[in-house]
Amino acid sequence: MLKITEKAKEVLDEHFNEKDKEPIRIYIASACSGTRLALGIDSEKEGDEKINLDGYDFVIDTELFEQAKPMVIDLTPMGIEISSSLVFEEAKGACGEGCCGCG
C-alpha cells in the first residue's frame, strides 16, 4: 500500500506545473546522514511495481515494495519524506551520529 498526503501532492503538482508528468521512482538512497527511501524521476523497469496515485505514476522494485509497504509520502520541514515499515540504521561517521556537514 502507498499513500500520499495532500501537502506532498501539492509539492509534486507545483514541480510538474506545465510539465509532462514522468514516472517517479521510490528507491533506497544512502548518504552521510544514513539510509532512507527517496524519490527520483525514472522510467518503469522490468520487475517494478507501478502504482498510480492521484494522477502520478510511482515505480518501485517489486521486492522493495513488498518489504517497505505500507508507505506514506509526506511533506516535512526537511522536504518530502517517505515513511515505511523498513528500519534503516543511521550512519555513523567521524563526527558521531548522523551528518556533521559533509561539505
Three-state SS for 8? Answer: helix
Q: Note the pTM of the prediction, 2 decimals.
A: 0.81
The residues, any chain, with a CB within 8 Å of residue 50's CB and separated by 6 or more, are: 23, 44, 57, 58, 59
pLDDT of residue 30: 87
Domain boundaries, the chain: 2-84
pLDDT of residue 86: 86
**Spatial separation of the C-alpha atoms in residues 97 and 99, rounded to whole Å:** 7
pLDDT of residue 92: 52
The residues, any chain, with a CB within 8 Å of residue 28's CB and separated by 6 or more, are: 35, 36, 37, 38, 64
pLDDT per residue rounded down to tens, the chain (103 residues): 999 999 999 999 999 999 999 999 999 998 777 889 999 999 999 999 999 999 999 999 999 999 999 999 999 998 899 999 887 765 555 455 555 555 5
What's the sign of the alpha-carbon dihedral 62, 66, 67, 70?
positive
CATH of domain 2-84: 2.60.300.12
